[in-house]
Structure 1
Amino acid sequence: MPDRSGLRLRFNRSLIVFTHCILCLIPTLLVLLSGTQLPAQVAGNAGGLVCDEGFENKNGSCQRTDLPENAYLTGSSYGSGWECNHGFQNVGEICEEIIVPKNAYLASTGDQWKCNRLFQRVGEECEELIAPENGYVETRFGAQEIHCNWGFRKENQDCVAIEVPKNGRLSDKRSSDGWVCFRGYRAAESGCEPVAVPQHAYLAPETYSGWKCERGFRANRDRCVAVLVPSNAHLNRRGDGWECNQPFTRQNDKCTENVP
């Protein structure tokens, strides 16, 4: 009987080669069917790399001819498709190196520079930010500000001492004067004057007058008058007025019953 093993082996090898060729043609067929073009293709037996229009062979790879120096491709179809390298900036479609001035540093983004602490930008340089006497520099939210020490307030670019009047003290809050009066006194043009507390009132430093009426009374200029509560009514929550009881309603200065 004839030996069929050799024939079967040659047939299997031919099938493998044919299958491999088919698999190699599939990507090319997909590209042709989609209507797109490959940026580069191998030129067969001629050797070398042939790039499409707008690309050129650089060190064995196809790169864009309009890509400026010190730039890289972003792979995005939007915009120019390239960006400048770290430490360079786009100036007229050219990537120029960022010159960092004295007392400055290159930002982490690589596309700008910033001044060091205690320096501020003036044009293209960094000038020292000098705090006035009795003041200091504070950085808040990325901005440097000059503040004055305790007991001083800012006037223009200087820190001047706060003159606290008699019966007053330095304020913990940043006020225009920098001081507040003691309890029992209120601010006036001459300084801190004693608060005259009327009858049925008590000292209350949180009010402008410095005093507050007791419950059941209400302020009327410089005195406290009693709240007249009509029948079927009661004092309100603050104690300086009245409200009708349920089911009565207010009509002028009286409380009348609702009649169905």
Structure 2
Amino acid sequence: MHRNGLKPSHVSSKGIAGVLAAVSFTELLALALVALIAIGTPSYAQSQSALTPANAQPKSYGDGWECDRGYRRDTDTCLAIIVPENAYATNRTYGSGWECLHGFQEVNDATCLEVVVPDGGYLDPSGKKWSCFRGYTKVDDLCLEIDLPSNAYLADNTYGAAWQCNRGFEINGDTCLAIAVPENAFLNGASYGQPWTCERGYFKRDDTCEAVVVPENAYFDDAGYGPDWKCNRGFETSGDRCTEIDLPDNAHLDRSGNRWECHRNFQRSQGRCVLND
């Protein structure tokens, strides 16, 4: 007989029945599902680990993977980005992954060499090249001071001559010579051709300005062509003079006032106006 007065067989059967009564069907189903997930998870994790290389991580969206910062993709691997001296990491997974510091220039996609700025020059805002100060000109790797002649000023051109002559002077080799302006002329400011122009009432002859001789019954005309004068209305040019027009019968002066034409229904014939047939 057992110490508490019960048979062992009776105690065992009552304990099993109590456990089965305490556990519901729903709890049993939940326990089975947890067991199933526990069995399947290692296989999925191992699959993902096999597809993603070292120093990489799955993309935050979409499929595939991307390299960690400080690494760059090379086919199916992630290689460490080696940042050369005088450079900094861009933290980008594309490109070289680094850029040179301000004042250094990339050479052969491998190193960063200091930009050497010569005397008379300054580092460009980009930090990758240099330019010369105003008053200096770039010659190879140097900034040479511009030798400015008398009566000249620095030009602001990025190309062409570094200096220009003052008004009233013209370039002659490396100097600026005064322009010889004849009497009755003035500087015209032209950048090419004749630098001076004759005043109104004068015309250019060689290197001088001669007065225009206006004949009687004429007036000065600066149209830019012809004899610089024009006959008054009712007069016509005859050599260097203006002669009065002798109007024939049935004729009148034309619009210019220096020629004549026949009235309507008349036609010109041998200096006269004859009636049309």
Q: TM-score range by the shorter chain?
A: 0.5 to 0.7
Kindly provide the CA deviation profile for residues 12-64 of structure 1, in whole angstroms up to 9, marking residues without a partner as x: xxxxxxxxxxxxx9xx77548511234169xxxxxxxxxx7312xxxxxxxx2
Kindly provide the CA deviation profile for residues 156-209 of structure 1, in whole angstroms up to 9, marking residues without a partner as x: 221011112222233344453322112111112141122244677643446145
Corresponding position: 1:36 with 2:65? yes
Q: Which has the larger radius of gyration?
A: 2
TM-score w.r.t. structure 2 length? 0.53
Corresponding position: 1:171 with 2:200? no
Q: Any idea what SS the aligned residue of 1:34 has?
A: coil
Corresponding position: 1:88 with 2:104? yes
Separation of aligned partners in 2, 1:195 and 1:145: 42
Corresponding position: 1:54 with 2:79? yes
Q: Any idea what SS the aligned residue of 1:37 has?
A: strand
5 Å-filtered alignment, 1:1-260, equals 31=60, 33-39=62-68, 53-55=78-80, 64-65=81-82, 67-74=83-90, 79-93=95-109, 94-140=111-157, 145-197=162-214, 202-205=219-222, 207-209=224-226, 211=228, 213=230
Aligned-residue offset at 1:141: 6.0
Q: How many pairs align?
A: 188
Kindly provide the CA deviation profile for residues 81-112 of structure 1, in whole angstroms up to 9, marking residues without a partner as x: 54322111121122111011111110111111
Deviates more, 1:196-205 or 1:177-186: 196-205
Unmatched runs of 5 consecutive residues or more in structure 1 = 1-24, 42-51, 56-63, 242-260
Unmatched runs of 5 consecutive residues or more in structure 2 = 1-44, 46-56, 71-76, 246-250, 260-277
Is the 8 Å Cα contact of residues 89 and 96 (structure 1) preserved in structure 2? yes
Is the 8 Å Cα contact of residues 31 and 38 (structure 1) preserved in structure 2? no
Alignment RMSD: 4.2
Separation of aligned partners in 2, 1:212 and 1:133: 43
User: Aligned AA for 2:64?
Assistant: G
Is the 8 Å Cα contact of residues 212 and 219 (structure 1) preserved in structure 2? no
TM-score w.r.t. structure 1 length? 0.56
Separation of aligned partners in 1, 2:106 and 2:64: 34
Is the 8 Å Cα contact of residues 201 and 211 (structure 1) preserved in structure 2? no
What fraction of aligned residue pairs are identical, expressed as a percent? 34
Separation of aligned partners in 1, 2:148 and 2:190: 21
User: Aligned AA for 2:112?
Assistant: C
Q: Any idea what SS the aligned residue of 2:200 has?
A: coil
